[in-house]
Amino acid sequence: MWKLLLKIFQTGILTEKRGRPLSQTHPPGFGKSLAIRHVDAGSCNGCELELWALENPYYALSSGGVKFVASPRHADLLLVTGPVTRAMKEALLRTRDAVPGPRRVLAVGDCACNGGIFRDSYAVHGGVDAVIPVDHHLPGCPPSPDELLEAIHHAFGSSPPSSA
C-alpha cells in the first residue's frame, strides 16, 4: 500500500490550467455544473478515445464541474458521435427524448457533423443533423481533447438552448 501512496505523492497534481472555470458562466438553466450524456451513433470509436482522455489527470474534466452521466434523464447536454447508422436512429431519438429541457445537443467529430467518410453509405443517415436538431458542431477526426473542452465550454455558456 505504501508504494501506491508514494506513487500518488510522486505524481503530484498534473491538471493543466486552462480558460475560465465553467461555473463562472452561469447560463440560465444549468446552474454551476453540466451533465453530459454521450451517445455513440455508430462511430469508429476514435472520438470515444478522446472523450476518455478528458477524464485523465491532464484534462480532469470533472474538476470543472462537468461530468458524464449514465442516464439521459440526468443530462443537460447530449453529446453525439458517429454518422448515425440506420440501426442507431431509433435509440438516438429515444435518448434525446429522455433528456429533460433545457437541453443542448453537441455533435462531435466529422462523422457526427456530416457523415464524414461514411456519408455516402446506404447504412448511415449522414450526420446528427439528419435525425435531430443540433446546437453545436465540433468537426475533427477525431477532435483533440483541447478542442473538445472548448466545444463543451461553448455549448455550456453561449447561445440559447434548443427547445425542449
* Least Å from the CB of residue 33 to another protein: 18
Between 25 and 48, CB nearer to another protein: 48
Q: Which residues pair with 137 in a beta bridge?
A: 107
Please give the residue ranges that form the binding site for another protein (CB under 8 A). 1, 3-4, 7-8, 11, 14, 38-53, 55-58, 68, 70-71, 82-83, 85-88, 90-91, 95, 116-118, 120-124, 141-142, 144
| Angstrom distance (rounded) from CA 127 to CA 112 | 4
Between 27 and 64, CB nearer to another protein: 64
* Least Å from the CB of residue 41 to another protein: 8
* Least Å from the CB of residue 26 to another protein: 27
- Name the burial class of residue 69, with classes exposed (0-12), middle (13-18) and buried (19+) by CB atoms within 10 angstroms of its CB: middle
Cα angle 13, 148, 15 (rounded to 5 degrees) comes to 5
Q: Report whether 49 contacts 40 (CB < 8 A).
A: no
